[in-house]
Amino acid sequence: MKPVRLGTRPSALATRQANWTREALEKLGTKVEIVKIETTGDVDRSESIANLGAQGVFTKEIQRALLSGEIDVAAHSLKDLPVEKIPGLRLSAVPEREDPRDVLVSNKYKSLEELPRNAIVGTSSARRKSMLLRRAAKQFPDAEPPAWDVRDIRGNVETRLRKLDDGEFDALVLASAGLNRLGLGDRAVSFLEAPDFLPAVGQGALGLETREDDAETIEQIERLVSEPTFLCVLAERAMLAELRGGCIAPIGAKGSFVRLDDGTELLALEAQILSFDGLKSFQTTSIQTLDPKKFGGSLPFETQKGLAELLGKGAAQALIEQGASELVEEIGRARIERDEKLRKRSRAPER
């Protein structure tokens, strides 16, 4: 059998994830060859993620290589993988998830409660920015918003930490999973917890994508599936797709898989959408039973996946029924404005 060619970004974090996948597959007898592929997000590190254009700035070059047959599997940080389906590709496996929470990193303060007015906080995420602005408005109700100076920061994790250490920022908000995978978990000073802070869709999870017609590779990759994790992220991604969200959307979600003492299995989904300034928000929690007794005595995994996606769509509808339509429209307008700016910039003559 030929080695499975595993495509990944060249960053330190992506390489760690690819190496984990390689080791896990080789323990099961599958040889793996890692192929590093630069993406738009790796090449352009000056622009904010939201300003780089269409979704998939960290994935589309890898997906092209997968479709062309240059690689057999694409390894993605699942939060970077757009929810829109690419014809010919399928998400074949999601291994067990790392800690999905966000964390505060600071050399001065131990928690958000300690952050003073006008503190400079760095983040690359519209979701985190909105949640921070919302929290600042609650923490300093008498201050003219925004009470914290939340600034965009680009670069890999090590670059961001260096900017913090050089005094450019008072604090950063990063993903716990990324720090843990790089052996930097001790830099976190506190976790940012629900209900005020929900992680990005798929945060902390690794997505392994294959071609739909590559049955041999799919069979190898599916051995790494964590069914509870897969169901959780499917619900999260279905919610995001239903709200037509993407990389610029201030939307958070957290799926949870629970097995009760009587053997009943439940899938829960917390979801939240915010305005860009953080001053408006809607939140909901939805639950789906996976009890086989309610479904004729058997519940195949493919059926469970379908129920997870229905749960996500239902959560999105619950947010809309609360009044989130105006925020969905706000996100849509922001996307149109961004795309128009990019078109103008691409047409501008070089000087």
Cα→Cα distances 336→50, 53, 330, 340, Å: 12, 10, 10, 6
Note the pLDDT tens digit of each residue in 76-106: 999 999 999 999 999 999 999 999 999 999 9
Report the top-level CATH class of 227-351: alpha beta
pLDDT at 57: 73
Calculate mean pLDDT across residues 292-310.
84
Note the pLDDT tens digit of each residue in 12-29: 999 999 999 999 999 999
Q: How confident is the model at residue 336 (pLDDT cuts 50, 70, 90)?
A: confident
**Domain range summary for the chain, segments of one domain joined by +:** 1-95+206-225, 102-192, 227-351
Longest dimension (CA), the chain: 70
| Three-state SS annotation for 272-290 | EEECCCCCCEEEEEEEEEC
Note the pLDDT tens digit of each residue in 46-76: 454 454 444 567 799 999 999 999 999 999 9
pLDDT at 162: 97
Q: Is pLDDT of 347 > 50?
A: yes
pLDDT at 338: 78
Name the H helices within the chain: 12-27, 40-43, 60-68, 126-139, 157-165, 176-181, 215-221, 227-242, 301-319, 325-347
Note the pLDDT tens digit of each residue in 263-284: 788 999 999 999 999 999 999 9
pLDDT at 39: 79
Calculate mean pLDDT across residues 252-259.
95
Q: Is pLDDT of 45 > 50?
A: no
pLDDT at 154: 86
pLDDT at 345: 64
What is the 8-class DSSP label of residue 102?
A: E
Please name which of 114, 124, 189, 133 lies closest in space to residue 152, comparing C-alpha atoms. Answer: 124
Catalytically active residues are: 80
pLDDT at 103: 98
Angle between helix 12-27 and 157-165 (nearest 10)? 140
Calculate mean pLDDT across residues 227-247.
93
Q: Which residues contact 177 (CB under 8 A, 6 or more apart)?
A: 97, 98, 99, 100, 203, 204
- Is residue 231 a contact partner of residue 257, using CB atoms and an 8 Å limit? yes
Cα→Cα distances 12→2, 56, 312, 330, 334, Å: 26, 19, 32, 35, 32
Residue indicated by tokens 């716990």: 176
Q: Is pLDDT of 163 > 80?
A: yes
How many Å apart are CA 239 and CA 294, to the nearest integer? 24
- Is residue 175 a contact partner of residue 78, using CB atoms and an 8 Å limit? no
Q: Over pLDDT 90: what percentage of the chain?
A: 78
CATH of domain 1-95+206-225: 3.40.190.10
Instruction: Give the predicted TM-score (pTM) of the model.
Output: 0.91
pLDDT at 49: 47
Note the pLDDT tens digit of each residue in 118-147: 999 999 899 999 999 999 999 999 998 899
Task: Indicate the average pLDDT of the chain.
Answer: 91
Q: How confident is the model at residue 159 (pLDDT cuts 50, 70, 90)?
A: very high
Report the top-level CATH class of 102-192: alpha beta
pLDDT at 53: 43
Query: Does this chain's domain 1-95+206-225 share its CATH topology with 227-351?
Result: no
Calculate mean pLDDT across residues 313-341.
91
Q: Over pLDDT 70: what percentage of the chain?
A: 91
Q: Is pLDDT of 296 > 90?
A: no
- Which carries the bigger pLDDT value, residue 45 or residue 133? 133
